[in-house]
Structure formats: structure tokens, C-alpha cells
Structure 1
Amino acid sequence: MENGINLREQILKWYRDYYHGGLMKLVVIGGVMSKKAPPENLQFKAERPIWKAGKLYRLEPVGDFHMLYLTWTLPCLHQHHLKKPAEYLAHLLGHEGWGSLHFYFKARGWATYLAAGVGSGCIYRTSVAYVFEVSILLTDSGLEKMFDIIGIVYQYIKLLRQVSPQEWIFRELQDIGNMEFKFTEEEHQNVYASRLSENLLLYPAEYINYGSFAYEIWDEELIEYVLGFFTPENIRVDVVSKSSIKSEDFKCEPWFGSKYTEEDISPSLMDLWKDPSEIDVSLHLPSKNEFIPCDFSIRSDNSCHDPANISSPRCIIDEPFMKLWYKLDTTFKLPRALVAKLETSVTPVDEKLEIKLTIPSSFQLVHC
């Protein structure tokens, strides 16, 4: 007993309510076909919202960093797995190119990392709601500009409402999804079975392999509908920073004893976020990506007998600042390349001078 609650009885009740066959998904990998009919689908309902509206939570981390989480609840989108409205919005809110939130914050020294989207785990994609999150790793100056940053996020959301959903962006995501599915690495059977069983909670059985990659139906109205949930009344703000809790008037989370404070977001800020008076001219949609591949034919089929392609790698770019070596793959015939990059500075640098170098983290080569 604790605080008048019988913990054992509560655990047993939770077990009886949720640990039964009707809530389970099973995947068996083998060579024998099953002829058993699947059980009828069960529907569950719960009251929304799943948290208090208009709240700011300050939490104390173990490490020394500043992370800002902006979270909204969306309706269940299970039935829209071929339309992917949340993924469309995640692509734009989490973009890193010119005109993006990430580019804006990084240029001002406010943030070094930004990600957006619905989490991949089933806890974020339930029959009750989807949980969409924008996470931003703040600098010290970014922590001081936290409310300005949230305001800029809402400026970008207003921009998305004004320009309306763009089909060409959806088609780019469609091409990327098809490419990623086509060249997905083979998984160990244990991992494969586990992933498929989780996907059965999200997709029809015929889509458990392809569901997360499928962008098949363009639905502008659905994207606008989902975008309507990105309101200040539906947001939860979490600030994780050692500098965030300055008062002794904090609460302790009951299971792990983590310190946190709960604050109301001021009505003036809520009104400002609801309808920003202007949109910064630096914010705009990304440009069309001309480098998304659609042709995956392998050139080695026609040139594998060329002696120049059978010999050792040859240097095809020889410049003072760069050398590029190339050898045609005639064995595996996949449109991939391995790139090793070494950068050295020949100029003495004052040890007090901080140097920051940004390079692309990954890229795709179409033909090898």
C-alpha cells in the first residue's frame, strides 16, 4: 500500500486490461503458410487532450545541454498511411536547407540541431492520437531566445498555411520513399520479425513491409486539416536544461524523482503565436531537389568489358585541393559509393579562434 493505493492490485488490473491476445500482434518467419483467419479488430477510445493545454515544463537533465521540445497531439492517422500528412509536415518543419527553421536558427547561433516528426515507436502512433514533436538543441544564447524561437516556429507554420500544400513536395517524398525501399538493407530475422509485428499495429497486413515508405495518394485537404492542430492551445513546451530550474519551488516526478516545474504560458504569447503579425522574409519553402534519382539502371552492364574499368581505380579529378578516384563496380552492381574524406589546414590558427566546419552528413550517388 502507498498513499492509499494497492499497487499490486493496480498492476494486476493493468495486466488484465492490456496483456491479452486482442492487443497482440504476431509475426512468424518461416516456410509454412498459415490458414487461420485473423481476429476481429478492436477499437479503443480515450479522452483528449492527453496533457494540459498551454503549459511550459522545465526539466533538469543529467547532462549539460539545452533542449527545447515542442509537441502537438494529432488525430490518429492509421487510415492515412498512403497519404502521410504528418510526414509531409515533418519534412518541411525539419528541413535543413535555405529558408528552413534549422537554417534560420543556426545562422543566428541559437541552435545546432533540429528534428521534426512523429516518433517511430508505437507510443507516438496510437489509435487515440499521434504525437508530433519538434526538438531543438539550443545554444546558450538560444536558451535566452527560447520564446522568440517558438514564435519563429509559428511564423513558419503560418507560412505553410498561406502557401497551401504543394504536390511537387509530396512527389519528391514519394521518389525518396521508393528509392529507400528499393535499396533497404536485409535485416536479421529477429529484427525483421519484431519490426513487422510492430508495423501490424500501424498498417494493413499487405503493407507491413512497404507501409513506412509508401506515398501513394496526394490529399491536399488532409494536410491542411492536420496542420490545423498546430495551434498554441494544443502545444506542450518542454525545456530540458540545467539552467531552466532556478527556483526551489519544483516538483519531483514520482517514479524517478526527476525535478521539474510547471508554468502557464502567458496569454499574450499565446495570442502572438496564434496569428503572427508578420513572417520573416528569411523563411520560405525549400527549392526543388534536382538530385533525387529516378533512374537506377546500372551502367556496368554495358561497360564491364572495358579494360579501363577492370583495372585498379583511376584518378578522374586531380586538383590542388582535391583528388577523386573511381573504379566501376562490376560485382555487386548497386548505385552506391564509399567516400572517405580527410581535411587538413595548412594555415596556422590562433588557439583562441573557434573554427566551425559544416559538411553534408550523407549523400546518394545514382550511377556507379
Structure 2
Amino acid sequence: MDTYGYSYNNPNRMSLAALGNQSLDELQSFVIKSFKEVQNKKLKKSKYPSDPYGESKRKTICYHVPVNESRQLTINWVIPNHRELYYCKPESYLSHLIGHQGDGSLSSYLKTLRLTIELIAGENQWERVLYIVYQYLAMLRKEGPKEWIFNEGKNINQMEFQFEEKGQSRYIDQV
């Protein structure tokens, strides 16, 4: 490991995944041999601010001139830590609703108004698109979560997992 690695990464802050066509015993032996010299300094886990941007950096509009022709409106939000809600996946629920393209969806409405082709457009009337997006979010907040929507997302995820095609071994990077 380099200097940065020794300064910030320690076994108590790290995880390791190993993938190979060797037996589990062989993989384990290889990992132990390769990493036994890494000393555990028992550093405290890093604490990160719950709001890394602060109030002053929010509500910022950034304009840029793309190298290639691109007409795109991107909205980014700072979402509070919700690790304790990991199993109910609130971000997936919201993502499912915002990205949904069926009748009555945000995407469908913006397409009807000819403001978007996909849910990443809106060059000429971006302020109107933002207004509609935030009106939609306000409606979702007012109505609260719906069990049937949660179950729909859960069922889609289960089917994707169950019928997922076997991928490349690179998958381990994503774990």
C-alpha cells in the first residue's frame, strides 16, 4: 500500500472480497499471504458531515457549455443519511416514482407538454420543468408512501435478481 493507504485505510475500516476459480481454501491462503503484513492501527472510523455541501452550496444552478451537442437538465439533491432504513430502500421508492414512464407519471406529463423526450431534458423551459418536478415531489410528500408502489418496486427487483443473467466476474468490484 502507498502512504495514503497506510494513513487512511486500515483493516478495521476495510472489507475484502476475493474471486477466483481456486478453492475457497486456496483463495483464503492467498489473501492471508498477500495481506498479513497490513497492520491494524485501529484507527477510528471516519466521520463525515451529514450535509457535506452546507446550506450555502444548495439551490445552485450551474451552466456549462458541452463539448458535444447536449441538451440536458440534471437535478441533484443532497439526501440525508438513511442507513438505518437500508432494508426499506426509500431512495429506490422515490427513484422508481420519478423514473416511472407509465400513464400519470411525471415523465408522461412532461412528454405530454412536449417539455421532454426522456426525463433528462427540458432545455428551453427548464424553469417550468423544475417547477413541475417540485410540484410532483410536494404531491408525493403530501400523499405519503403507498404500500402497493413499494410492493411493485420490490417485485421488480426480485424478478430482476431471480432472472439475472450470469455476469462477468468483474461483478465483485460492485459488491
- For 1:77 and 1:46, locate their aligned partners in 2 and report how far apart those are by CA, in whole Å: 14
TM-score, normalised relative to structure 1: 0.38
Aligned AA for 1:44? K
Q: Looking at secondary structure, tell me which structure has more helix per residue.
A: 2
- For 2:111 and 2:18, locate their aligned partners in 1 and report how far apart those are by CA, in whole Å: 47
- 2:51 aligned partner: 48
- For 1:49 and 1:16, locate their aligned partners in 2 and report how far apart those are by CA, in whole Å: 25
- 1:162 aligned partner: 142
- 1:64 aligned partner: 69
- 1:137 aligned partner: 121
Aligned AA for 1:195? Q
- For 2:67 and 2:89, locate their aligned partners in 1 and report how far apart those are by CA, in whole Å: 36
- For 1:107 and 1:21, locate their aligned partners in 2 and report how far apart those are by CA, in whole Å: 54
Distance 1:87 1:47, change over 3 A: closer
- For 2:149 and 2:155, locate their aligned partners in 1 and report how far apart those are by CA, in whole Å: 10
Q: Contact 2:50 / 2:81 at 8 angstroms: preserved in 1?
A: no
Query: More relative contact order in 1 or in 2 (CA 8 Å, sep 6+)?
Result: 1
Distance 1:71 1:13, change over 3 A: farther
Distance 1:79 1:172, change over 3 A: same
TM-score, normalised relative to structure 2: 0.76
CA deviation string 1:134-170 (max 9, x = no partner) = xx223xxxx2311111010111011102211101111
* Aligned pairs for 1:259-298 within 5 A: none
Alpha-carbon offset, residue 95 of structure 1: 1.0
Alpha-carbon offset, residue 85 of structure 1: 0.3
- For 2:103 and 2:136, locate their aligned partners in 1 and report how far apart those are by CA, in whole Å: 13
Q: Contact 2:17 / 2:172 at 8 angstroms: preserved in 1?
A: yes
**Identity across aligned pairs (percent)?**
29
Structure 2 unmatched ranges of 5 or more: 33-39
- For 2:50 and 2:143, locate their aligned partners in 1 and report how far apart those are by CA, in whole Å: 33
Alpha-carbon offset, residue 108 of structure 1: 1.8
Q: Is the counterpart of residue 146 in structure 1 residue 159 in structure 2? A: no
- 2:162 aligned partner: 182
Aligned AA for 1:46? P
Q: What is the aligned counterpart of 1:84 among 83, 89, 98?
A: 89
- 1:250 aligned partner: none
* Aligned pairs for 1:237-256 within 5 A: none
Distance 1:148 1:166, change over 3 A: same
CA deviation string 1:192-236 (max 9, x = no partner) = 32222xxxxxxxxxxxxxxxxxxxxxxxxxxxxxxxxxxxxxxxx
The structure number with the bigger radius of gyration is 1
- For 1:47 and 1:76, locate their aligned partners in 2 and report how far apart those are by CA, in whole Å: 7
Q: What is the aligned counterpart of 2:112 among 98, 101, 107?
A: 107
Alpha-carbon offset, residue 181 of structure 1: 1.0
Q: Is the counterpart of residue 97 in structure 1 residue 105 in structure 2? A: no
CA deviation string 1:64-112 (max 9, x = no partner) = 1211111111122333321100000111111111121211111222111
Superposition RMSD on alpha carbons, in Å? 2.8
Match of 2:158, SS? helix
CA deviation string 1:23-77 (max 9, x = no partner) = 54321124225598xx888342236242602211101111112111111111223
- 1:192 aligned partner: 171
- For 2:74 and 2:149, locate their aligned partners in 1 and report how far apart those are by CA, in whole Å: 26
- 1:227 aligned partner: none
- 2:37 aligned partner: none
Q: Contact 2:51 / 2:80 at 8 angstroms: preserved in 1?
A: no
Aligned AA for 2:110? F
Q: Is the counterpart of residue 75 in structure 1 residue 77 in structure 2? A: no
